[in-house]
Amino acid sequence: MLKVVILTLLSTIMIAGNIKVAVAANVSYAMQDLTKAFNKIYPDIKVDVILGSSGKLTAQIKHGAPYQLFMSADMAYPDRLYKEGLASTKPVVYAQGTLACISSKKRDFSEGIKIVQNPNIKKIAVANSHTAPYGKATAEALKNAGVYEKIVGKFVYGESISQTLSFAVRAADMGFVAQSALFAPQMKKYKEGIHWIGVDRGLYTPISQGIVILKKGENSSDVEAFYRFILSDVAKKILLAYGYLVS
């Protein structure tokens, strides 16, 4: 009997120490370092990370997915969840994301993103602007650069920014991705100015990325601890290392 009680208590503790965090795909490259740093402070809290486009994660949350905290790629989705009563905290910005243009081949980037007009660039990977905020920012940048209508027929669409990155370096001639992705270990063979450039920030609206505690995570001290960690100086230092802007 005592053994059963002990096992039940241990099971309860293990469940209590697990939190489910829905994370926009662009942050996936930084999440390993973020969760590692978090676990140095809170070794007993296991962080289950669910990755996807912000739009799809929002749809899953609306349909009852058991996520407790949401790190979106922009502010629109957490704002919507908060207004609909599905989030217990008002969205705040945890980082600002920036765009980069990348090719697996060496390129002459002297024209900036107008390189996309080059006739040798036949396929351009972009994120779906309806589900991924980085896709929306890409379209905005290309329109402001005056090249969107000329090249829209070259687009190969990814549902998330991570899928877009895969298309950009494997299936397309070029692509527009979150600059943070280029700081991942597996991307270090691609060099700035040779394989990629940051997109002029004057061409698109800054991508303010929002975080909220969801209703399924309210009153959880573990969720609150992770939320506060993401807004801490320790997390900001990690996000800066991955190409984000933080304040």
Q: Is 178 helix (H, G, I), strand (E, B) or coil?
A: strand
102 vs 87: CA distance, rounded Å: 36
9 vs 63: CA distance, rounded Å: 31
User: What pLDDT, on the 0 to 100 scale, is given for residue 111?
Assistant: 93
Q: Is 87 helix (H, G, I), strand (E, B) or coil?
A: strand
Find where tokens 């241990």 sit.
Answer: 10
User: What pLDDT, on the 0 to 100 scale, is given for residue 183?
Assistant: 86
Please give the structure tokens belonging to residue 136: 């929306």
Please give the structure tokens belonging to residue 124: 């351009």
Ordered per-residue pLDDT tens for the chain, 247 residues: 434 333 333 333 334 589 999 999 889 889 999 999 999 999 999 999 999 888 899 999 999 999 999 999 889 999 999 999 999 999 999 999 999 999 999 999 999 999 999 999 999 999 988 877 888 999 999 999 999 999 999 999 998 778 899 999 999 999 999 998 898 888 989 999 999 999 999 999 889 999 999 999 999 999 999 999 999 999 999 999 998 999 8
Burial 28-43, CB ≥16 within 10 A → b, else e: bbbbeebbeebeeebe
Per CATH, domain 2-96+208-241 is 3.20.20.150: no
**What values do phi and psi take at 237, rounded to 5?**
-65, -40
101 vs 176: CA distance, rounded Å: 5
Identical fold, 2-96+208-241 and 98-203:
yes
Where along the chain do its domains lie?
2-96+208-241, 98-203
User: What pLDDT, on the 0 to 100 scale, is given for residue 160?
Assistant: 78
The pTM of this model reads 0.79
**What values do phi and psi take at 151, rounded to 5?**
-125, 0
Find where tokens 């990370």 sit.
Answer: 49
Is the distance from CB of 67 to CB of 216 less than 8 angstroms? Answer: yes
**CATH number listed for the domain at residues 98-203:** 3.40.190.10
- Residue 18 has a CB neighbour count (10 Å cut-off) of 12
112: left (phi over 0), alpha (psi -120 to 50) or beta: left
What is the arrangement of strands in the sheet containing 196-198, beginning at the earlier edge strand? 155-158, 124-127, 174-178, 99-102, 196-198
- Cα separations in angstroms, 45 against 27, 62, 66, 68: 20, 26, 17, 14
User: What pLDDT, on the 0 to 100 scale, is given for residue 26?
Assistant: 85
- Written as one string, the DSSP assignment of 73-85 is SSSHHHHHHHHTT
